[in-house]
Amino acid sequence: MEAGLVKAPIEVYRFDPTHDRAPRYDRFELELAPHTPVLTALLKIRADSDPSLTMRYSCRSSICGSCAMVINSKSRLACQTPIGPELERHGRIVIDPMRNMPVLRDLVVEMGGFWGNYRKLEPHLIDNPERPMPEGRPSSMSPEEVERFKETPRCIACGACYSACPAVEHDAAFPGPMSLAKLYRFVVDPRDGGQRERLLKIQPGGLWLCLRCHLCTEACPKDVRPSERIRDLKEMAIALQGATEHGSKHAVAFKENIRERGVLNEFKLVRQTYNPIEMLGQVPQGLKIRRKKPEITQTPKPIEGLAEVEKLYEILDDEPEATK
């Protein structure tokens, strides 16, 4: 083996729905420099071993967002992921197509659902009479106004966050992290006249299905931090409308619940989130939890150091909303 090269065992997901009954993994053994991106390794496989290997890519520079795939169980850009650290950590590289999207062939997925969710959020400026568009073009913005976008303009719509999101997997009604990060971008845009309607429209279900797992933020190759922008949208929605949804009622009740005793009162939380009829639907879940954790009581004792918890709440109460 040439100096500076490493052995790279690579297993690639293969599936051609026109021929294959089931997916399989093809294994290739390459010798590559550790800094070689996974995408380059795939292109080498295609050039030297199997011209039928199918994938998307374009810029090879982490700009176009085409090459998102699952590499050793994590959604990321193949052109931005060097093989060296993957081999050190896992001893091999296993490559799958993105999750939460149907596979068209090999590593190429159908992204219609991803883009459809985005289109539903009307990703364009809506006329704002207070900021009319001169000659049909959006008015300019001050640097302070641009700051409000935070990292959202960096998004390249690669789909890695959507692929990593368990809420998307669980419920097709969830628009996905990218769409919500982009929605945030319009909600804080002072040139947009639809902020209120956007928040009201996204409230029923959509926003509150986020599980706050932060896997989208971990997956994002551009550090857009979608989970933080979803949190901001939730705060804005509560500020606009109060706690009217199960999700928002649960969030507000959770915060107050912990403040009271420093520990969650699960029974009270359910009462604060659901009305009496809805609570009946929670009984099976409640019994399940009771079986698992019989120590749960209706009146948990306040924890020691409750004063410290209160101090934390006071600090948070003084923080500006979007930084909590």
Q: Which residues bind ligand FES (CB under 6 A)?
A: 57-60, 62-67, 77, 79
Q: Of the candidates 136, 230, 109, which has an alpha carbon nearest to the alpha carbon of residue 180? A: 230
Query: Taking the complex as a whole, how short is the minimal distance between the CB of residue 75 and ligand FES, in angstroms?
Result: 13
Query: Taking the complex as a whole, how short is the minimal distance between the CB of residue 169 and ligand FES, in angstroms?
Result: 23
Query: Taking the complex as a whole, how short is the minimal distance between the CB of residue 95 and ligand FES, in angstroms?
Result: 14
Closer to ligand FES by Cβ: residue 77 or 168: 77
Q: In a 10 Å sphere around its CB, with 0-12 CB exposed, 13-18 middle and 19+ buried, how is residue 276 labelled?
A: exposed
Spatial separation of the C-alpha atoms in residues 163 and 230, rounded to whole Å? 17
CA atoms within 13 A on the CB side of 244: 14
User: CA-CA distances (angstroms) from residue 170 to 100, 112, 167, 182?
Assistant: 9, 18, 5, 21
Largest CA distance in the chain: 72
Spatial separation of the C-alpha atoms in residues 108 and 69, rounded to whole Å? 9
Strands (E) across 170-304 are located at none
Query: Taking the complex as a whole, how short is the minimal distance between the CB of residue 67 and ligand FES, in angstroms?
Result: 3
Please identify which residue in the block is written with the tokens 């933020």: 217
Closer to ligand FES by Cβ: residue 98 or 237: 98
| 103-105 and 68-71 strand pairing | unpaired
Spatial separation of the C-alpha atoms in residues 62 and 303, rounded to whole Å? 49
Query: Taking the complex as a whole, how short is the minimal distance between the CB of residue 278 and ligand FES, in angstroms?
Result: 45
Query: Taking the complex as a whole, how short is the minimal distance between the CB of residue 63 and ligand FES, in angstroms?
Result: 5
Closer to ligand FES by Cβ: residue 154 or 246: 154
